[in-house]
Amino acid sequence: MTKPIPHYISDFLDYCEVVKGLTPITTRNYARFLNKFTRWLTDHHLLDLHPENLTEDHIHKYRMWLSRLPNAVRHANPGLDVSSQTRYLIALRNLLAFFHERNIPCLPTEKIKLPKERRERRVKFLEFQDVEKIIAAPDTKTFPGMRDRAILETLFSTGMRVAELVSLDKKQLMGALNKTDFELAITGKGGVTRVVFFSERALYWLKKYLDVRKDEEESLFIRLKGPASSSLRLTVRGIELVVQKYAKIAGIPILATPHTLRHSFATDLLSQGVDLRSIQEFLGHKNIQATQIYTHVTNKKLREIHRKFHGGNNE
């Protein structure tokens, strides 16, 4: 006798972390994505739907619902973009795989087809001078400004993902603050461990920020508002708001995010001649294919070199 689908989600998340060995961040993301599916079930009076009764028509209607979901970040286009829809559908497909693993009858996983993205994915990045404008925007005479400057410096110096940044603790940096450079091993997406590098300037602002910290909180970056009874660790959303705030103050014409700074970190290195394999290591990509989205930078440089030096071009 099976139970309604939402009753299995907690067991599925435990399975992801314990059996599949997924990181806590990935498991939390799956929980968030499946909460949307539960919301869809609720909105359509399907909370009692059992796995064996889930149909292709349900999947189709859920996909349509996802495509029309308001997107709080992308105001100009209120629908979820294709890559976001894909993440929600992958979570649901993995839930179906869990059902199969437990011999619970349900749709085959291949019945959940993922949306096709454009073959050439273009990344959104900032020119170095625009990154510098954002980094210089906080008022560092105040504690919030010092914290925010340290956040922005760390993001651009290391190329960290925002989830990796918020998981940092003070103790990881305490021995580095009087140095001119520092490298730190972190474990990121997919359980990939890599070394990230802190510049002299990033360490300078981290030291100034930590010198005025008087709290006992272990988190490197703390929130300044909210209930004192819960953890002071700054959230992913909190970091996103910090970046957006200073991009607006700096007059940057695009909606900048922490990932924009990560893209800018990679494209800046590429424009200086660093090869893709090294960029892959810096970013913690498992596969070189993930890093190849940055080849638009090297392609542009090659075009300029060809135009300048190839004998077949007119002067």
Selected catalytic residue, list 149, 161, 194, 263: 161
Using a 10 angstrom Cβ sphere, with 0-12 exposed, 13-18 middle and 19 or more buried, the burial of residue 58 is: middle
Q: Kindly name the residue from 63, 149, 194, 262 that is annotated as catalytic.
A: 262
Separation CA 300–CA 125 (nearest Å): 14
CB 139 within 8 A of CB 104: no
Residue in 63, 147, 194, 285 annotated catalytic? 285
Encoding tokens for residue 249? Answer: 């103050």
Number of helical H runs and strand E runs in the chain: 13, 2
Q: Which of 50, 102, 170, 189 is catalytic?
A: 189
Residue 15, token pair as written in the block: 């399975």
Instruction: Please tell me which residue in 61, 111, 207, 259 is annotated as part of the active site.
Output: 259
The yes-or-no answer on residue 310 being catalytic is no
Which residues share a beta bridge with 219? 169
| Tokens matching residue 216 | 């006992």
**Amino acid code (one letter) for 302:** L
Active site residue 262: yes
259: amino acid identity, one letter: H
Distance CA 204, CA 27 (A): 35
15 catalytically annotated: no
Active site residue 296: no
285 belongs to the catalytic site: yes
Q: Which amino acid is at 39?
A: R
State the Rg of the chain over Cα.
23
Token output for 173: 């940096």
User: Catalytic pick from 15, 88, 209, 294?
Assistant: 294
Q: Is 50 a catalytic residue?
A: no
Distances (CA, A) of 150 to 22, 82, 154, 158, 233: 30, 33, 6, 12, 15
Q: Which residues are marked as active site?
A: 161, 189, 259, 262, 285, 294
